[in-house]
Amino acid sequence: MFTENRTLSIGILEIDQEHQALDNLVAKLERMVVSQSSKKDLQTAFQDVHKAMLSHFKTEENIFGPKIDELVKNHKVEHAWFLAEMKFLDAHMDHDYDVWRDKFFNLANKLTRHIIKFDMEIAHD
Ligand SMILES: [Fe+2]
Ligand SMILES: [Fe+2]
């Protein structure tokens, strides 16, 4: 719906495809969280996001090489933040659902910002 105003494409096919796949999985999980799907289904969808994120960050770290390590830009540091947060969410699915839900939506929003702020920028460096 909003893609005419702004695209998340960074112009590198492999990364764009992975972003699209990751975004689809996150959007699916978001819809499941909102509709309060069963815990088992949520867990499965969560693991799909987690796996896609892990392999996507590896792809980026391979493609972008040492540029991604520049501490001043914090790109790799933010990847590490996402993975730590996913680990936390994974370990806390049994805890307070509202807290979990807020943390997950925060992560989903941050992922979109990450693509714009870090992935797009490094691709145009
Ligand atoms: Fe990315
Ligand atoms: Fe990234």
Domains of the chain, by residue range, sit at: 18-123
48 Cα to the center of ligand 2, angstroms: 18
112 Cα to the center of ligand 2, angstroms: 10
pLDDT digits (tens, 9 = 90+) for 24-75: 999 999 999 999 999 999 999 999 999 999 999 999 999 999 889 887 778 9
Q: Residue 14: what residue type? A: E
**Single pTM value for the model:** 0.89
The pLDDT score that the predictor gives to residue 125 is: 76
- pLDDT bin (cut points 50, 70, 90) of residue 7 is confident
Q: What is the mean pLDDT of residues 16-31?
A: 96
Q: Which of 8, 1, 21, 12 lies closest to 67 in space, CA to CA?
A: 12
Cβ within 8 Å of residue 63, ≥6 positions away: 12, 14, 15
